[in-house]
Structure 1
């Protein structure tokens, strides 16, 4: 089996993989029982490949979206830091050279994505996760 198909298999729900040429009936039974119990039977070489795939996917996500601690982007942290300092929307917009509408949109996006109730909740979240 080619590596390019493995991610599709795992996405489809496969949890155990046995090399065909080395598979015995006892190993198949062991893999089925382990899979049923919530465990996986995977060759070490495949585990390493999966770890590398996850690292690569995380790296790609971080580069494309730029999240920092707590899933906040650099721009969101800048806005939340100024909110924590007591700045209002117009002052934040002036300091960051954005429109007030953009600042409101950034704050609303953070609150919606992270299911936060208000601006104070957003600031306290950023402080708890160490972003500010």
Structure 2
């Protein structure tokens, strides 16, 4: 796992992710660039962002998400990019984990 992480692979086995999420329950997550203000509740994500992240969390690919939500693939990619940039996250998996940990999803 350490070698994979060093190579940039941020995927975690489901049991390890579950343990990390349980460990983080009740913790206050700080949003970078807000002077230490805690991440806001569910209103911090639009309904579109929540819908896309829910499907990402289900393991769906961009094309599948686009078909299900009647969006273009470009829209789905942009939504994920906007969320990762706004919260300074590394990738799709990080965005889902962050959203779950902070109660945004």
Q: TM-score range by the shorter chain?
A: 0.5 to 0.7
CA shift, 1:70, in A, is 6.3
State which of 99, 103, 106 in structure 1 corresponds to 2:76: 103
Structure 1: unaligned runs, 5 residues or longer? 1-66
* Structure possessing the higher relative contact order (Cα contacts under 8 Å, 6 or more residues apart): 2
The 3-state SS of whatever aligns with 1:87 is coil
1:82 equivalent to 2:82? Answer: no
Q: Does 1:125 align with 2:98?
A: yes
SS in 1 for 2:60: coil
Residue by residue, what CA displacement relative to the aligned partner does 1:37-65 show, whole Å, maximum 9, x if unpaired?
A: xxxxxxxxxxxxxxxxxxxxxxxxxxxxx
Q: C-alpha deviations, 1:76-125, integer Å up to 9, x for none?
A: 01000000000000000000000000000000000111100000000001
Greater helix proportion: 1
User: Hey, which bits of structure 1, 4+ residues long, moved more than 3 A?
Assistant: none
Give the superposed CA RMSD: 1.6
**Aligned-pair distance for 1:71?**
1.4
CA distance in 1: counterparts of 2:102 and 2:48, whole angstroms:
16
- Number of residue equivalences: 66
In structure 1, what is the Cα distance between the partners aligned to 2:60 and 2:47?
18
Q: Partners in 2 of 1:102 and 1:114 — Cα distance?
A: 18
Gaps of 5+ in 2: 1-39
